Amino acid sequence: MAEAVARLMGSEQAILFYITVFVRSPGTGARTPWHQDQKSWSAAGNDACSVWMSLDKVPRETALQFVRGSHRWKTDYARPAFFSTRYEGDDRTEQSAFPDIEAHREDYEILAWDMDPGDCLVFHGMTAHGGSGNLPAGLGRRSVSVQWLGDDARFRILPGDDDDPHISEEILRYGVKPGDPVVCDICPVVWRRT
Ligand SMILES: O=C(O)CCC(=O)C(=O)O
């Protein structure tokens, strides 16, 4: 996977940033809100991607969906509220509100695929995606999402609640400073072009 993503990013190296596991029990109706992964990453750069793999069969109707070309959007959209709560005084009005893709699906080119266990989707860190879930009765889903960084990705500190997962403090403890490549014991270079 490391070599594949490095080549797809056009990078000399692939740095393992973190791994997420999603477990939806059968009948889960909660859909994943539309979002751009990198808006909650304590790393920014064009060389950054996620690899999403399901361990179960994924029918297209409940698959993770993507807005084609959204990684090139020029607007800096706010991170939509995910599983977090906005608190009083949490004022981030400088960013435009994330578009309501679900209510205006016809305005976007939305892509999704049937997938077999082990199939992988690789997408840019800024590609808008969501809409998955809403599983029919009896069907569960276990998926793994692996976040990768490449040559130009740099460490940054995000406001508390946006840093999700909350790993910046840990990365700081490993000596990485804002503006540095995010390379340390917990974010290793897994593949390097020789
Ligand atoms: O599996 C899902 O529904 C969410 C996946 C996701 O948003 C991600 O991997 O970034």
| 3-class SS letters over 44-69 | ECCCEEEEEEECCCECHHHCCEEECC
Ligand 1 center to 65 CA (angstroms): 9
Residue 46: what residue type? N
Ligand 1 center to 155 CA (angstroms): 22
Question: Which atom from ligand 1 is nearest to the alpha carbon of 37?
Answer: 10
Q: Which of 18, 37, 52, 141, when mutated, tests ligand 1's pocket best, judged by the most ligand atoms within 8 Å of its CB?
A: 52
Q: Is the pLDDT of residue 161 over 90?
A: no
Domain ranges of the chain: 2-76+94-192
Give nearest CA residue, ligand 1 atom 4.
32
How does pLDDT run across 93-112, given as a tens digit for each residue? 567 889 999 999 999 999 99
193: its two tokens: 């072009």
Give nearest CA residue, ligand 1 atom 10.
37
* pLDDT at residue 27, rounded to an integer: 80
User: What ranges in 29-154 are assigned the alpha helix state H?
Assistant: none
Looking at domain 2-76+94-192, which CATH architecture does it have? Sandwich (2.60)
* pLDDT at residue 87, rounded to an integer: 47
* CA atoms of 109 and 136, how far apart (whole Å): 25
Mean pLDDT (the chain, rounded): 91
The two beta strands, 189-192 and 65-67, are unpaired
Q: Which of 145, 147, 164, when mutated, tests ligand 1's pocket best, judged by the most ligand atoms within 8 Å of its CB?
A: 145
* CA atoms of 100 and 20, how far apart (whole Å): 25
The whole model's pTM is what? Answer: 0.91
* pLDDT at residue 14, rounded to an integer: 98
Q: Confidence class of residue 82 from pLDDT cuts 50, 70 and 90?
A: low
The contacts found for 87-90 with CB under 8 angstroms, 24 or more apart, are: 87/161, 90/159, 90/161
Residue 22 Cβ < 6 Å to ligand 1: yes
Name the least confident of 42-51, 87-96, 173-182, 185-194: 87-96
HSE, CB side, 13 Å, CA atoms: give it for residue 152: 9
How does pLDDT run across 38-70, given as a tens digit for each residue? 999 999 999 999 999 999 999 999 999 999 999
Q: Is the pLDDT of residue 164 over 70?
A: yes
